[in-house]
Structure 1
Amino acid sequence: MALDHSKTQLNSLGFAKSPAETRVVVAMSGGVDSSVVAAELASQGYDVIGVTLQLYDHGAALAKKGACCAGIDIHDARRVAEEMGFPHYVLDYENIFQDAVIDEFADSYLAGATPVPCIRCNERVKFKDLLQTARDLDADCMATGHYIQRKMGAAGPELHSAGDPGRDQSYFLFSTTPEQLNYLRFPLGHLTSKAETRALAAKHGLAVADKPDSQDICFVPNGNYASVIEKLRPGAGEPGEIVHLDGTKLGRHEGVIHYTIGQRRGLGIGGLSEPLYVVKLDPDTRQVFVGPKEALSTRMVPVREINWLGDAPLDSQAEWHISVRVRSTRPPQEAILRPLGPDTATVELLSPEEGVSPGQACVFYETEGTRVLGGGWIWRG
């Protein structure tokens, strides 16, 4: 199956020239998605350059099974480039990644938030420094293996959800700016299943055709966030009290970093007459507040650092009737967005959500259709 084409464009990437005259840098993580993008574009005759970011010490990364941009992934990306006959470069972004992503992740956790480092990585590393590298290589565009669609609208390129709702990555790409969107391409966004991607990999004989998808945050491959925070910020796991919303002290904990909003299991308190959930974290007093499930329900969500992708300015009207996602695992639901300025707003959920957490993203969508209108970061208010 070929990549997405438009009958009004000379080539599949939207340029009025032949593929051979179109240079495209492909961000290659070493997984099947970006490998398929690079192989398919190379087979269509594009001037492809593969670039892989080394985000860890190479030797240490080899031990991190399932981690993105680790040693084995660099090897896999290089092998695809060799098989398909296009140049491939590995760039050392370890310091940039540490400064732009990992440090903020640790500090956010210490502040009682639940950060989403994958969004910051796209925003501050892949779609910033790597995108500039692609420009420096005189590329016409940069392509990635993300499952999201770029469509031309009346006012220019628009961001849309993927053809496969189960693989849609729009939640993690809401901060893509209009300028970046002009330069980016997402050739897999229209596919309706991962099976199609793997079939394309098999068509090109790629060794990564059956490679498992990466799981968890790339630098936390075992999912143990607390151990990573303690390593990055020694002494972060200071003990404190577990307190019921009614003021009753129920026990002690070994560090706020071990808890997230909405957590029920592993609270370290027993003999309860009702199930309790983490409803608030106070890193200043080192207290973990718990309460009944209904205490998690939220209707009003303060949002800041908004990246707006609508045609009219965000604050050009008093309210917007949209759909939002407050977690990557939840479907969009109807809401009212009330701007407080060019990049801050309050979101009113028409149906209460449970476990809305500071540090997570709130992503905006059209109520009808697939267009992504941007998003922002949830905070305490």
Structure 2
Amino acid sequence: MVHLIGYGRRAETGTSLPWCFPRMTKRAMAKILVALSGGVDSAVTALLLKEAGWEPVGIHLRLFDSDPESLAEGVCCGDQAAADARMVAAQLDIPFYVRDLRDLFREHVVEPTVEGYAHAETPNPCVLCNHRVRIPELLRLADSLGIPAVATGHYVRKIQHGGEWRLAEARDPRRDQSYVLYRLTPQQLERLEFPMGELTKEEARARARAAGLFVAEKASSVDLCFAKTAGGIGRMVATMRPETGQPGPLLDERGRVVGEHPGIAFVTVGQRRGLRWRSTTPERKYVAEVAPDTREVRVAPRARLLTRAVRLADPVWHEPLPSVAEARLRYQGPRFPVSVEGEWVSFLEPGPPLARGQAVVLYDGDRVLGGGTATEVVRGAPDTEPAGALAVAGSTGSR
């Protein structure tokens, strides 16, 4: 059963048809469920849909309780976000509902993220949120309300390829969010709309200002937004799992103690910042492995951390893969040429350091091919000799 808190009334449709909605006209005048986060992107999404002739129904997903005393900007959860979403709906004169998903978010996003960090992994909670909670629940809610389509404020596009819908990068690469939505299926994409994929952030703010929306200048939400008011993901993990916030030794490749780290909750592969060194080393060294059982963190020169291959857990491919694709290892990060065989992704040239738990997303041009979660990483530049456990970091407790 769906429990909703309603607000608002339906208004007359807008008059103009924005240039960025060529494929939406066939469903003009249809209802569409619009996820309103309380930010400018989702507000402009609802605005443009209404102008294009749709009947938007606003829905705010209550995912997490942020610190009520925090003044941090860029937070999309909590009372203030819900209040802003309600005000946007009132300004646009569209129906508005709130769906409480806090228990589901905690179970499928917060707890797995904390456990991942506690086991020396670096999961991306935005991937977990979108694919385990946000998108599935929006589609289920739309079904329960008899609404055929769902829209979000993500900066992505959907395109036709081979007779099916595929996810593609946004027109504005500075805002592209395809990395965190790589698991979307053609069946899900059939019902989803992403108006922001055709706009830049500056254009979105201009549309909001022109419409008089009060969120026009509101700060954008940030990655790991639910952890921001807790002081960051490291502090949140250390609070929920205190043992991860205990300092431990930094060991070089020979096992010598060369410094101290602040706790495994605060370190990840490839990191140097925040480490406390006892003395200078001949060459700069970075986090190479994390052993959660002993709280030891091993460091090594960056050349030994470069990614040569990675085995993916639970990979999903939306179409047959080309002989060479491009892999993205971080949100809005650069892409690297790779080949794929089974669960293994091999880099044609060594890639940057990669931690277990990170998403690896493959592209062909601007089209998302699919991806998976790094579970085993082969490291080291071709001209370096493997250094013990640094050669392959798997699921045995080392990174």
Query: Is this a same-fold pair by TM over 0.5?
Result: yes
The answer to whether residue 111 in structure 2 is matched with residue 113 in structure 1 is no
Tell me which residue corresponds to 1:154: 162
Unaligned runs of at least 5 residues, structure 2: 1-16, 377-393, 395-399
Q: Give distance in 2, aligned partners of 1:138 and 1:3.
A: 28
Give TM-score, length-normalised by structure 1.
0.89
Q: Give distance in 2, aligned partners of 1:365 and 1:219.
A: 28
The answer to whether residue 330 in structure 2 is matched with residue 321 in structure 1 is no
The answer to whether residue 34 in structure 2 is matched with residue 38 in structure 1 is no
| CA displacement at 1:151 relative to structure 2 | 1.1
| CA displacement at 1:59 relative to structure 2 | 7.4
- For residues 61-94 of structure 1, give each alpha carbon's deviation from its aligned partner in whole angstroms, at most 9, with x where no partner exists: 8755431132222111111111111101111111
Tell me which residue corresponds to 1:306: 315
What CA RMSD, in Å, does the superposition of the two structures yield over aligned residues? 2.0
The letter for the 1-side match of 2:101 is Y
Identity of aligned pairs, percent? Answer: 37
Q: Give distance in 2, aligned partners of 1:254 and 1:59.
A: 24
Q: Please tell me whether the aligned partners of residues 247 and 262 of structure 2 are also in contact (alpha carbons under 8 angstroms).
A: yes
**1:200-219 correspondence runs (5 A):** 200-219=207-226
The answer to whether residue 374 in structure 2 is matched with residue 365 in structure 1 is no
Matched position secondary structure for 1:352: strand
Q: Please tell me whether the aligned partners of residues 286 and 301 of structure 2 are also in contact (alpha carbons under 8 angstroms).
A: yes
The letter for the 1-side match of 2:242 is P
The answer to whether residue 300 in structure 2 is matched with residue 291 in structure 1 is yes
Matched position secondary structure for 2:53: coil
Work out which of the residue numbers 69, 76, 83 in structure 1 matches 2:91: 83
Q: Give distance in 1, aligned partners of 2:349 and 2:331.
A: 17
Q: Give distance in 1, aligned partners of 2:363 and 2:185.
A: 15
Q: Please tell me whether the aligned partners of residues 361 and 371 of structure 2 are also in contact (alpha carbons under 8 angstroms).
A: yes
The letter for the 1-side match of 2:289 is K
The letter for the 1-side match of 2:351 is E
Work out which of the residue numbers 52, 55, 69 in structure 1 matches 2:77: 69
The letter for the 2-side match of 1:142 is V
Count how many residue pairs are aligned between Structure 1 and Structure 2.
Answer: 359
| CA displacement at 1:166 relative to structure 2 | 1.1
- For residues 144-174 of structure 1, give each alpha carbon's deviation from its aligned partner in whole angstroms, at most 9, with x where no partner exists: 1101111122331111111111111111111
The letter for the 2-side match of 1:331 is P
Range with bigger deviation, 289-298 or 174-183: 174-183
| CA displacement at 1:38 relative to structure 2 | 0.6
Work out which of the residue numbers 335, 345, 368 in structure 2 matches 1:332: 335
Matched position secondary structure for 2:236: helix
Unaligned runs of at least 5 residues, structure 1: 340-344
Q: Give distance in 2, aligned partners of 1:275 and 1:348.
A: 26
Tell me which residue corresponds to 1:342: none
Tell me which residue corresponds to 1:99: 107
Range with bigger deviation, 65-74 or 81-90: 65-74
Q: Give distance in 1, aligned partners of 2:285 and 2:67.
A: 43
Q: Please tell me whether the aligned partners of residues 42 and 86 of structure 1 are also in contact (alpha carbons under 8 angstroms).
A: no
The letter for the 2-side match of 1:4 is C
The letter for the 1-side match of 2:329 is V
Q: Please tell me whether the aligned partners of residues 261 and 274 of structure 2 are also in contact (alpha carbons under 8 angstroms).
A: no
Q: Give distance in 1, aligned partners of 2:148 and 2:332.
A: 34
Q: Please tell me whether the aligned partners of residues 18 and 51 of structure 2 are also in contact (alpha carbons under 8 angstroms).
A: no
Tell me which residue corresponds to 2:9: none
The letter for the 2-side match of 1:307 is V
Residues 164 and 329 of structure 1: is their aligned pair in 2 closer, same or farther, counting only changes over 3 Å? Answer: closer
Q: Give distance in 1, aligned partners of 2:139 and 2:73.
A: 27
| CA displacement at 1:198 relative to structure 2 | 1.0
Give TM-score, length-normalised by structure 2.
0.85
